[in-house]
Amino acid sequence: MTAVRTPPVAPRLRRDRRRWAWGLGGVAVLGWSLAGAGLFSGPVVNPAGVRQFGRFASAALSPAHDAEFLGVLAEATLVTVAYAALGAALAVALGAIGAVGLARTTWGRRRAGWTVSRSLLAVPRGLHEAVWGLLLLNVLGLDPWVGVLAIGIPYGAVTAKVFADLLDEVPRGGYEALLAAGAGRGSAALYGLLPSAAGGLLSYSFYRLECAVRSAVVLGLIGAGGLGYQLALSFASLRWEQVWAAVYALAALCMLADLGGRAVRRRVAAPRPAGGQAPTRDPLLTGAVVGSLALMAWSWWFLALTPATLTAGRTLDQLGYVLRAAWPPAADGDLLAAVAVAAVDTVQMSVIAIALATASALGVSGLAARRPGAGPGRWALGAGIRFALLLLRAVPPPVWALVLLFVLLPGVLPGALALGVYTLGVLGRLVAEATEEVDPRPRASLRVAGASRLGGWLYGVLPALSGPVLALALYRWEVAIRDTVLVGLLGAGGIGVLLSGRIAAFDWAAVTTVLATIVLLSLAVDLLSERTRTALR
Same domain, 351 and 242: no
pLDDT at 271: 59
User: Per-residue confidence at 199, pLDDT binned at 50, 70, 90?
Assistant: low
Same domain, 312 and 350: no
Higher pLDDT, 109 or 338: 338
Per-residue pLDDT, averaged over 409-437, amounts to 83
In a domain, 5, yes or no: no
In a domain, 28, yes or no: no
What CATH code is carried by the domain that includes residue 214?
1.10.3720.10
Round the CA-based radius of gyration of the chain to a whole number and report it: 25
Handedness of CA 380, 385, 390, 395 (dihedral sign): positive
- The least confident of 26-40, 85-99, 321-335 is 26-40
Percent of the chain's residues with pLDDT above 70:
82
Higher pLDDT, 468 or 111: 468
Report the 10 Å Cβ neighbour count for 321. Answer: 14
Same domain, 317 and 338: no
pLDDT tens-digit series, residues 219-271: 877 777 788 888 888 888 888 898 888 888 888 887 787 777 777 767 766 65
Helix (H, G, I), strand (E, B) or coil at 343: helix
Are 136 and 150 within 8 A, CB to CB?
A: yes
Asked if the model's pLDDT at residue 304 lies above 50, the reply is: yes
Report the 10 Å Cβ neighbour count for 429. Answer: 19
In a domain, 483, yes or no: yes
pLDDT tens-digit series, residues 387-407: 888 878 877 787 788 788 778
In a domain, 13, yes or no: no
Which of 299, 325, 351 lies at the terminal end of a domain, its last residue? 325
Residues 6+ apart with CB under 8 A from 117: 101, 102, 107
In a domain, 442, yes or no: yes
pLDDT at 10: 46
Structural domains of the chain, count: 2
345: domain range? 331-536
- The least confident of 6-15, 326-335, 413-422, 501-510 is 6-15
